[in-house]
Structure 1
Amino acid sequence: MTNAPIAPRRSHVRTHHGDSFDDPYEWLREKDSPEVIAHLEAENAYTDEATAHLEGLREQIFQEIKGRVQETDLSVPTRRGDWWYYSRSEEGAQYGIHCRAAAEPGDWTPPTLEPGVPVPGEEILLDGNVEAEGHEFFSLGSFDVSDDATRLLWAPDTEGDELYTIRVRDLATGEVLADEIPKTGGGFFTPDGSAIIYTTRDEAWRPDTLWLHRLGTPVAEDVKLFHEPDERFWLGAGITRSRRYLVIGVGSSVTSEEYLVDLRGDITAEPQLVWPRAEGVEYEIDHTVVDGEDRLLILHNAGALDFELVSVAASDPQGERTVVMAHEPGRRILGVDCFRDVTVVGYRSEGLERVGLLDPRNGQVDELAFDEPLFSAGPAGNPEWHSPFLRLSYTSFVTPSTVYDLDLATRELVLRKQQPVLGGYAPEEYGQERRWATAPDGTRVPISLVWKKSFGDPGAGVRPVHLYGYGSYEHSIDPGFSVARLSELDRGVVFAVAHVRGGGEMGRGWYEDGKLRNKRNTFTDFVACAEHLIETGVTSAERMVAEGGSAGGLLMGAVANLAPSTFAGILASVPFVDALTSILDPSLPLTVIEWDEWGDPLHDPEVYEYMKSYTPYENVRQDAGYPRILAMTSLNDTRVLYVEPAKWVAALRHSGAKDVLLKCEMAAGHGGVSGRYNAWRERAFELAWMLDTLGLA
């Protein structure tokens, strides 16, 4: 077999706060260098050769995934205005097809659509397969239809760099209008359909400016509606479901600020500030009407760690506040959705998402009940202000994605559709439960397990385990169904999620305890979960593979250094493994924004020292006995640059690590390859490598 590529070591000294670090692989950052491209292609060739024996297994897993998916399928239609909107897929086609059909007046019951059966009166709005022709990568960003249903706005990305080109089509004539706006962060129509509101990014890829483009006018004449100069803050905008207000929001990971524009007046008028920004205070708003008065419901964390919901007059948002849902420690309020006849609140309690119907006049919450011990549920696809139904999505580790409509008059849950799983899938053949590990500081850390019952319950004998983790940005890894996961469960693998600190599963305090100077808790929690599974007889170190992506990839790199003998293999996807180098350079995309999550090592020597103590690349150890490692990355990723895993893999090889692979997609972004078949093949590649590492190939 060909030897692994060995990247040349070239001195590149980085000095901060009196500390010098010689970074011998920094030259790999030159993306346009033929030498760098040749190195990445050599890595790909080596990975292809090293995994060639898995080609048959990869194809088998791909066919299993494909065979369980109803390839020709349709979504549940959603009513907006006088139309039912839905998407459908066709066998053999990579991308979805977006469609609509006319609705009968007063009919809110979605039509039942049969796969492969033509829909009467169907209009195809956008065929992703046609749009993707001639491109190796295709991702659809914005997709919007004007309120009068006469125009379509869509914004594709064909590079993977998350810069979208806005286009507009006249739905009556099919004509694509001359109003093309390149390099945006996406956009949407104004309620009257005469203009587009969109964002652009600065040189660090941060959405920083909001624009108004009037259809039929040159882009050069577009009006700047808002600009956010602070490099720590992202800019976003949207229109309330009531179609009454434009909401402009700016926020870092710890601070936010929002503005209102009343759309009954001049859209270019100066936006009204809701609450002045205060460091560490986050809030978000929605518009409701209570007893005929326009009110704003404001969800905030000022003096309320797990957030509080208050009501204020829309005409005076900085005026008197009425508490609607008081802060309750351990009940993390996640969001509020306002409709004409109901207010929906999402919150997290005992580690699970909950959905409640809220009376904004008295704060009473009627929680919706579901049968399973582990589940995820929430509102989905509800564009109308006055619908008699509330669309909900539901899933668990064993229940496929399910769509319900809640009848607001009877409070009855009406099943509209459950994701078909072909091949005889039976949920009762699989089990799911939650267990608890104990971290070194005594904190109890939840672990979710899912398995196929025919292999016995976890702990009845040593089983292969796939342990997943993330642990950053308050992002929770909630229960969810996966067709691809069945290929490992049906081979006896137990899938486990370590709900480590830095995520949001157990409330805002759980997040606070896994960020900044508490970041090490994320890593030690994950190791504690792995050790718990070993100590309780579920698995052994030789039969466990760990996986994480992006910030979860940093977790993987840190765990590899911290406890290399605890795992047989580690899969790191688009891994943030050279974090200190990136966070030290404010010219890189998104770096300044990230200081609220990780700290500012550029200006704070204590943060520098702390980050350097855990970042994977700087802490690769000589002859540490690393497990098998597979790093997946993408050349055009603007969030975690390809150079991070490329440098990490080079350093691991130099340290003596024996089985380290890098796979770099040369035409993709942070989310990996585009197209469902391509995505299935990529997942089959990863699962085959994991099964091989677990001795199941």
Structure 2
Amino acid sequence: MIDASAPLPGPPSAKRVDSTRRHHGDEFVDHYEWLRDKADPAVIAHLDAENAYTEAATAHLEPLRQNIFDEIKARTKETDLSVPARRGGWWYYGRTFEGKQYGVQCRCPVTDPEDWNPPQLDEVTEIPGEQVLLDQNVEAEGHDFFALGAAGVSPDGNLLAYSVDVVGDERYTLRFKDLRTGELLADEIAGIGAGVTWATDNRTVYYVTVDEAWRPDTVWRYRIGASGQPAEQVYHEADERFWLSVGRTRSDAYVLIAAGSSITSEVRYADAADPHAEFSVVLPRRDGIEYSVEHAIIGGQDQFLMLHNDGAINFTLVQVPVDQAGDPAAQQTLIAGRDDVRLDSVDAFARHLVVGYRADGLPRIELWPIGADGAFQPPQQITFDTELTSAGLGSNPNWDAPKLRVGATSFITPVRIYDIETATGERTLLREQPVLGEYRSADYVEYRDWAYAQDGTRVPVSVVHRAGLELPAPTLLYGYGAYEMCEDPQFSISRLSLLDRGMVFAVAHVRGGGELGRLWYDGGKLLEKKNSFSDFVAVGRHLIDAGICRAGSLAAMGGSAGGLLMGAVTNLAPDLFAGVVAQVPFVDPLTTILDPSLPLTVTEWDEWGNPLDDKDVYFYMKSYSPYENVAHRDYPPILAMTSLHDTRVYYVEPAKWVAALRHTKTDENPVLLKTEMNAGHGGISGRYERWKEIAFSYAWLLSVVGCG
């Protein structure tokens, strides 16, 4: 127990050991690279000392942390269940129970095969015929960390394949359970990637393994109970830029293996019913050409639907007969590419398609009915009431279901689940995410704003706060800006603890994300990466100039590649922020990207560039790397949060960054490092532990902007 009244000890001081890096005629002396060796007791001792210092430095916030945790818990319906989704003769759903850290997967039998309306289940009434498929709480017993990678039932409903990670390093163990008897089978496969895909023979599964750099590089096929026979290697990807994934089409007709880098795709397909099937390439890879594949039956003919960017920067949708898949001349365009609309996805069903796209910076979905003659009927846009709604497909495992499951949410609208009658368009609200404590969305406002970057580019900003809040007010600005990922509106119960204390929450949709299409992404990567950072700073200044936030009360938060954003903007405009939270931050990017043996290296060169071979990339990355640009100046208070077993952004990056900041900066503001010693990139496991982690960061943020 820490005595809050005792004087705060000084922060840990990491020893400085010179390690010289030489590339392209440049020398960089790295004083803290020794922290990379987590097998060194001195490294663990240093991280422990950092944790102790962080706990001591934030001990005064314990009452606020507890209050926030209690608020999250009080607003959450702890004993709950999801809306059932039908597959075969069963309704599948998830349960949570008060006091339990993890979910429970369940199912109950379909009583009327003609009735596609999900049964009206509740969390307390005994459900006839309910079967527990997997209780994650049981699986997690005895482990400090637990993550479920996959849980997939065989097409006949008899076997469950599931994978678990009990370390946090994203290497999973695959197990099988006979759902007729409840017994675990003897088959067990260790050290695989998260997912698993069933063939339709109900005995064969496909999975991927990862190489030493955690790249999914090999697809395997395994037949359950095959008398100790080893798994069969189906495909190995030798090119270190490419990652593999495997899945089955919704039609159950094909297994697909997708190989992809950041800018290039190649897909293979095989008969899902044949456990010995050979895979064929849909279209051979061409550098810079991306495509995805879905199977449809249109007019009685097997078709592949492909989204590709060959000659269409924001992608085009085509169909091609399966037996002519490799002939580009056989493609028929369904949706031509447009500069103002980014095509994201296509999902095929027996009687309709669902097209996902982005327009005006937000995701949208369209229903394309297929007539009896195989012709497409006029598309129907699925719309919602509020400007900032994010909508997408929910659980739709059935090829020929007469209903479409859709989810929608916004910053102030809890997640809503709908069933849409595809023949009539009739919409039924099945569930709204419960928020206890008399939550009313009318008590909050959300809106889209725009800032101007230093080059004149308009940058979208999402803003949410309590209705009637007197502005300017303390503000938390969040950002990510990489990999074409989109920070779309999402409801958060925990965020209410900030909003109800008078804080504004804003999202800077900076370049490098995909909110405004592929060009928006291209404008924030490679040798344009600095646009992400200057966009974020421009949004922060806009919030102050527009009277939303007052100077001196703007905090910033981001994680992973968004942690790089945090590190870069604290160098670019340190006086703009009252405090910065950097979660699993990628703050030493050049060291990482120079080492091909590490994760986030070879596969990342399409995103960041290859500084090993390209002198311009090397010096460009060096010019924005947060760690290498720590300067003799004042910095805002900083809280860096990381995990010892993170395989995507090593703990050493924030550890080095914090050490360099403490040694170099000229102010007395605290720089804190909090390392989870039993977690990976996604942070600590278990919902209550995650709530505590959220409460920790939120209490710190509230304190630095004066709302604590």
User: TM over 0.5, yes or no?
Assistant: yes
Give the corresponding residue for 2:383: 369
Q: Are the equivalent residues in 2 in contact too, given 1:179–1:218 (CA < 8 A)? A: no
Tell me the distance in 1 between the aligned counterparts of 2:58 and 2:401: 53
**1:212 is matched by which residue type in structure 2?**
R
Distance 1:315 1:519, change over 3 A: same
The percent identity for this pair of structures is 55
**2:298 is matched by which residue type in structure 1?**
V
Structural mapping, 1:420-435, within 5 Å: 420-435=434-449
Q: Are the equivalent residues in 2 in contact too, given 1:334–1:348 (CA < 8 A)? A: yes
CA deviations on 1:348-405 (whole Å, 9 max, x unpaired) are 0000110001257458432111110111000011111011111111000100011001
Q: Are the equivalent residues in 2 in contact too, given 1:225–1:268 (CA < 8 A)? A: no
Shift of 1:117: 2.0
Tell me the distance in 2 between the aligned counterparts of 1:59 and 1:220: 53
**1:157 is matched by which residue type in structure 2?**
D
**Which one of the candidate residues 429, 447, 452 is aligned to 2:466?**
452
Corresponding position: 1:252 with 2:261: yes
Corresponding position: 1:642 with 2:656: no
Secondary structure of the 1:180 match is: strand
**2:175 is matched by which residue type in structure 1?**
R
Corresponding position: 1:117 with 2:104: no
Corresponding position: 1:499 with 2:512: no
Tell me the distance in 1 between the aligned counterparts of 2:643 and 2:416: 32
Secondary structure of the 2:618 match is: helix
Give the corresponding residue for 2:149: 141
**Which one of the candidate residues 89, 111, 119 is aligned to 1:82?**
89
Give the corresponding residue for 2:533: 523
**Alignment size in residue pairs:** 691
Structural mapping, 1:275-354, within 5 Å: 275-319=283-327, 320-354=330-364
Shift of 1:220: 5.7
Q: Are the equivalent residues in 2 in contact too, given 1:324–1:362 (CA < 8 A)? A: no
**Which one of the candidate residues 242, 245, 256 is aligned to 1:236?**
245
Q: Are the equivalent residues in 1 in contact too, given 2:197–2:246 (CA < 8 A)? A: no
CA deviations on 1:528-578 (whole Å, 9 max, x unpaired) are 000001111111231110000000000000000000000000000000000
Secondary structure of the 2:241 match is: coil
Give the corresponding residue for 1:63: 70
Give the corresponding residue for 1:164: 172
Distance 1:475 1:363, change over 3 A: farther
Shift of 1:158: 0.4
Q: Are the equivalent residues in 1 in contact too, given 2:219–2:235 (CA < 8 A)? A: yes
Give the corresponding residue for 1:670: 681
Shift of 1:121: 1.3
Give the corresponding residue for 1:93: 100
Tell me the distance in 2 between the aligned counterparts of 1:146 and 1:263: 12
Tell me the distance in 2 between the aligned counterparts of 1:436 and 1:589: 36
CA deviations on 1:7-60 (whole Å, 9 max, x unpaired) are 001000000111010000000000111000000000000000000000000000
Give the corresponding residue for 1:174: 182
Secondary structure of the 1:179 match is: strand
Secondary structure of the 1:586 match is: coil
**Which one of the candidate residues 205, 222, 243 is aligned to 2:214?**
205
Tell me the distance in 2 between the aligned counterparts of 1:259 and 1:268: 15
Tell me the distance in 1 between the aligned counterparts of 2:625 and 2:66: 36
**1:296 is matched by which residue type in structure 2?**
F
**Which one of the candidate residues 384, 405, 409 is aligned to 2:423?**
409
Tell me the distance in 2 between the aligned counterparts of 1:301 and 1:109: 39
Corresponding position: 1:695 with 2:695: no
**Unmatched runs of 5 consecutive residues or more in structure 2:** 1-7
Give the corresponding residue for 1:10: 17
Distance 1:363 1:36, change over 3 A: farther
Secondary structure of the 1:20 match is: strand
Give the corresponding residue for 2:3: none
Secondary structure of the 2:396 match is: coil
Give the TM-score taking structure 2 as reference length.
0.96
**Which one of the candidate residues 637, 649, 653 is aligned to 1:628?**
637
Secondary structure of the 2:183 match is: coil
Secondary structure of the 1:451 match is: strand
Corresponding position: 1:619 with 2:596: no
Secondary structure of the 1:295 match is: strand
CA deviations on 1:573-613 (whole Å, 9 max, x unpaired) are 00000000000000112310000000000111110010000
Tell me the distance in 1 between the aligned counterparts of 2:301 and 2:641: 53
Tell me the distance in 2 between the aligned counterparts of 1:400 and 1:347: 22
Tell me the distance in 2 between the aligned counterparts of 1:621 and 1:363: 61
**Which one of the candidate residues 39, 45, 51 is aligned to 2:52?**
45
Secondary structure of the 1:565 match is: helix
Tell me the distance in 1 between the aligned counterparts of 2:419 and 2:252: 23
Shift of 1:267: 3.8
Q: Name the Cα RMSD after superposition.
A: 1.1
**Which one of the candidate residues 221, 225, 231 is aligned to 1:216?**
225
Tell me the distance in 1 between the aligned counterparts of 2:512 and 2:477: 17
Corresponding position: 1:54 with 2:64: no
**Which one of the candidate residues 381, 391, 409 is aligned to 1:395?**
409
Secondary structure of the 1:590 match is: coil
Tell me the distance in 1 between the aligned counterparts of 2:369 and 2:127: 39
Tell me the distance in 1 between the aligned counterparts of 2:568 and 2:101: 36
Give the corresponding residue for 1:468: 478
Tell me the distance in 1 between the aligned counterparts of 2:515 and 2:399: 30
Shift of 1:173: 1.3
Corresponding position: 1:261 with 2:261: no
**1:65 is matched by which residue type in structure 2?**
I
Tell me the distance in 1 between the aligned counterparts of 2:522 and 2:580: 26
Q: Are the equivalent residues in 1 in contact too, given 2:201–2:275 (CA < 8 A)? A: no
Q: Are the equivalent residues in 1 in contact too, given 2:592–2:600 (CA < 8 A)? A: no
Give the corresponding residue for 2:202: 193
Q: Are the equivalent residues in 2 in contact too, given 1:310–1:321 (CA < 8 A)? A: yes
Q: Are the equivalent residues in 1 in contact too, given 2:248–2:272 (CA < 8 A)? A: no
Shift of 1:218: 5.8
Which has the larger displacement, 312-321 or 293-302?
Answer: 312-321
**Unmatched runs of 5 consecutive residues or more in structure 1:** none
